[in-house]
Amino acid sequence: MRTRRDKTRALIRRKVQPCSKTMPAQAAQAQQSAKLAEIREALVATGYDTTAKQAAVLGVGRSTAWWLLNGDKKAGPSASLIKRILSSPNIPLAVRRKVEEYIQERISGLYGHSVSATRAFCRSVAFGTVAGTGQANLQSTGGADGLRFARRDRQTGRA
């Protein structure tokens, strides 16, 4: 009979994680990849079918656009990249909605990030004005943990 240590080593050699906590992480990564694929599909549906066109409309470089929309995600886009995308004046409304959904889902903890990482993302992504849009934008509404977001009207400042 193998000892527990030998079983763990055998599992690691076969590249199987011995911890049962990895399945939720893998499911969360799959959900995150699916949401980023939805963003890509929204771009293609609005006529931006090449990486160069997608990069131009998102306001990022071509390699960054490819990584964001086609890469195998171990980690999602940073808050600064999200802010850069939302500040792009050419972004279609359908794509903007998908990005905002991604932000809300990431802040709610759907993608398996730690509480401290989620709070840091929430603080970094909370911005006052989105350049080039006449729409409501995302603002932190505070709350006990500071993780809730609501749509605010720019003129009145109310949710």
* Rounded Cα–Cα distance for residues 44 and 116 (Å): 34
Other beta carbons within 10 Å of 93: 11
At 45-80, the pLDDT tens digits run 999 999 999 999 999 999 999 998 887 666 788 899
Tell me what pLDDT residue 43 has.
Answer: 95
| Spans of all domains in the chain | 22-121
Exposure b/e, 33-45, CB count within 10 A at least 16 = b: bebbebbbebbee
At 83-116, the pLDDT tens digits run 999 999 989 999 999 999 999 988 888 888 888 8
Nearest Cα to Cα of residue 140 among 87, 114, 104, 101: 104
* Rounded Cα–Cα distance for residues 54 and 116 (Å): 32
At 121-154, the pLDDT tens digits run 888 887 543 444 434 345 444 443 444 444 444 4
The one-character DSSP state at 138 is: E
Position 83: which residue type? K
Q: Are strands 149-152 and 137-140 parallel, antiparallel or unpaired?
A: antiparallel
Tell me what pLDDT residue 70 has.
Answer: 84
